[in-house]
A = this chain, B = another copy of it.
């Protein structure tokens, strides 16, 4: 004790213990990758002890184990809450080893006991059929981050830290991972962190020099350049560099002490002195060999400290010498020094772990559902648009939604458990009412004329869909609620992130000890049909196609046609758990259809006949006009009124779809309509002219099992876009009223030539439209001012 100095905080005894803990974690990691039995190496290693298929990632693992150990030291000394995020989640063997050493693994999986039998199970199950995957996953205690698809560790970390003032998120970032776009921009999340009301993030850049088969950029620029980069990102980097264990332990302990002291100082300053000037947050750069402590060379080729140790540094075990390399490597950790004869971790090592909930492997922060509390949701019906008759009133649906979200924000302000994220589009998407009760989070320079910026704002805006998504995921996974609005076309930017979240939710729901978390809610607006300011690049409704490939249990898609239905649906989404809810709704002024009662009834069923728009009651319909989405609904109803005028005896049934997944069968999706109900709505033989918000093929894909599938004629986006008038967009894609009418005439057999004049009339109208918009640049008055009439 007396020999401790700030640069050598560990005593010789500490050092010995630290090395042994680290050896144990490394030993257990290697064991998971390689061994089927002979877990404690009681006998010389034989080929039959080895797994037939060698899978897993060694390279990143010793570094993760090293960091984990040093964080444990801080937890024990300072009684901290720390959440560990492993950017390279393929280092799962390390996470699982540490978790087992802390006893948590056995608590969650009682089969995997703290003895030789349990250790054998631990080894065997890794990357093994019926066992656990090779990456960190929902099945990994203490984890909220899979790390399979690289790039999201730091945005997840910040998401977890927001509104958790007592939490420090230690986020290990791979130097390969640091090359991804999402990671590269997420450094700047510190401009959105409030040292007073949020927790802290401690980034640990793991400069092990390599990715799969290449050196990494950040490891191969001069140190001053790296330092500039990190300082430029707003951090104060502490470097821990080398490969000799003892000095590295001392350096890491020193760095940790310094980093946590600095976090305390920053928080203290903000919380007691009220000084919230954006600080340079501490971070650690760990430069150590990839595959540290692993085989130096294999078959004469450099392995430790090179990319060759990324996965399984020595494989093909029947090759002469390979078994010996593995045995020598494993024995170098001296298992007898680490484990009792029964195979438990020796008590003096076990004592290095924190206790109970303080163990990173057991922190409740990583099992958000356990402390999730429902939002207080004020009555959305008080925000209803007053409708006297359908299709007469104009409103901006998302603006109405914004007025309710403002109430939601206010009602939960004291709990600080609800955030709205948007990629610089909150106001553009007309949710600006929420800024009456909160601000945009902002902790960079502020000028006198700035509006609605503050440190503790609960609207989060950065021009990075990735960061928005990552923050929100981190926030939800640690037990809070959120809402993201985004231009419809650009939500594709996070296609792959939402994949990963969907996979996480699926696995988590199969993992007994994981509690459900709040759903991920998207409002997609500025949609394909009303990209008034922008061109073709902003027109893409394909996120729906992407979402329907996910597990049906996870995904919900809603296309509310107006403001009142949008309110109903959003309230429902904010109450749901473990889902990804996609809501598509327009922000432009548009006709409103349903009063609040009708909206509630309609949304509860998700699909239904609009009797007031239909004229087939009491008889067989000649045609069903289906619609899903606000603009398609408008065009469908306008088509109905044209048909009513020209062919008054045509029996039309109008079916509106709010909940898209009702179109599937119940065995495909929990919301799927039973066949009988579907057939009642759409008949089994009548033509269905369907006006759809997205790509037509999506509807065909959803209904292919239905009896009447063959009679569906779907109008939707045909990938014909540009900057033009709203109605012209529908015309270019044949979604407009005139094309709908034309297709009805074509498909109702009895109309045939009888309707020739009606058909001519709509063709004439299309020609007139064409001339008019090219002359005046806006839609014809009869289009702009159209309102519903029977």
Q: Residues on A close to B: CB < 8 A? A: 36, 51-53, 55-57, 89-90, 124, 127-135, 137, 146, 148-151, 176-177, 179-188, 191, 211-217, 220-222, 225-234, 302, 306, 311, 424-428, 440, 442, 444-447, 449-450, 453, 461-467, 489-490, 492-493, 495-496, 499-500, 503, 506-507, 532-538, 540, 542, 545-546, 548-551, 695, 697-698, 700-701, 704, 709, 719, 721-725, 728, 773-774, 776-778
Contacts and interface: CB of A to CB of B under 8 A. Distances in A.
A424 B302 CA distance: 19
Nearest to A461: B214
Contacts of A55: 532-533, 723
Given A127-B723, A215-B445, A220-B446, 20 more contacts: A133-B535, A148-B535, A149-B489, A149-B493, A176-B463, A177-B463, A179-B188, A180-B185, A181-B467, A212-B427, A214-B442, A225-B231, A225-B234, A229-B231, A229-B232, A230-B232, A311-B533, A489-B499, A492-B546, A500-B537
B496 A719 contact: no
B134 A216 contact: no
A148 B719 contact: no
A463 B778 contact: no
Contacts of A546: 492, 495, 542, 545-546
Contact of A704 (B220, B709, B722): B709
A58 to B, nearest CB: 12
Nearest to A776: B52
Complex copy number for this chain: 2
A534 B148 contact: yes
A726 to B, nearest CB: 9
A667 to B, nearest CB: 12
Kindly list the 6 A-B residue pairs having the minimum CB-CB distance in the complex, ordered from nearest: A229-B232, A148-B537, A181-B181, A133-B535, A228-B232, A492-B496
A453 B307 CA distance: 14
Contacts of A134: 533-535, 723
Given A182-B181, A215-B444, A538-B148, A496 B503 contact: no
Nearest to A721: B503
A778 B233 contact: no
A533 B90 CA distance: 9
A129 B776 CA distance: 9
A110 to B, nearest CB: 19
B463 A216 contact: yes
A467 B698 CA distance: 31
Contacts of A698: 701
Contacts of A537: 89, 135, 137, 146, 148-149, 500, 503
Contacts of A496: 489-490, 492-493, 495
Contact of A213 (B36, B129, B424): B424
Given A52-B778, A176-B463, A188-B179, A213 B427 contact: yes
A366 B343 CA distance: 68
A495 B546 CA distance: 10
Nearest to A712: B704
A186 B217 CA distance: 12
Nearest to A228: B232
A129 B534 contact: no
A596 B231 CA distance: 58
Contacts of A697: 548-549, 701, 704
